[in-house]
């Protein structure tokens, strides 16, 4: 595949870019989620970039950003309901 370009429509803006290592038995993936908001509709959508669709800068930033993302997720105070 080639570099994937995210299409932003009128009113769209990027809310967050989230790198995450996903894995299971015998597989793993380095996925980047691009969260896009729209100021006109107040809707949120997500687009996903596979490793071969990510920019060179994303490849360089992926590991430290994924580590920070995991630390931030772990830092969120939560109460788990039974």
Stretch 8-27: mean pLDDT, rounded?
Answer: 95
Q: What is the pLDDT of residue 49?
A: 96
Report in angstroms the alpha-carbon separations of 73 from 8, 29, 34, 39: 27, 19, 17, 26
| Contacts (Cβ under 8 Å, ≥6 apart) of 33 | 16, 17, 18, 20, 46, 47, 48, 49
- Domain boundary assignment for the chain: 12-75
Q: Which pLDDT band holds residue 76 (cuts at 50, 70, 90)?
A: very high
Q: Which pLDDT band holds residue 13 (cuts at 50, 70, 90)?
A: very high
Percentage of the chain lying above the pLDDT 90 cut: 96
Q: What is the pLDDT of residue 51?
A: 95
């Amino acid at each position: 595949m080639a570099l994937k370009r995210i299409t932003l429509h009128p009113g769209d803006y990027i809310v967050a870019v989230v790198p995450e290592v996903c894995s299971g038995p015998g597989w793993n993936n380095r996925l980047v989620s691009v969260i896009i908001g729209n100021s006109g509709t107040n809707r949120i959508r997500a687009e996903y970039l596979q490793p071969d669709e990510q920019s060179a800068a994303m490849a360089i930033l992926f590991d430290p950003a994924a580590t920070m993302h995991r630390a931030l997720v772990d830092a969120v105070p939560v109460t788990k309901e039974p």
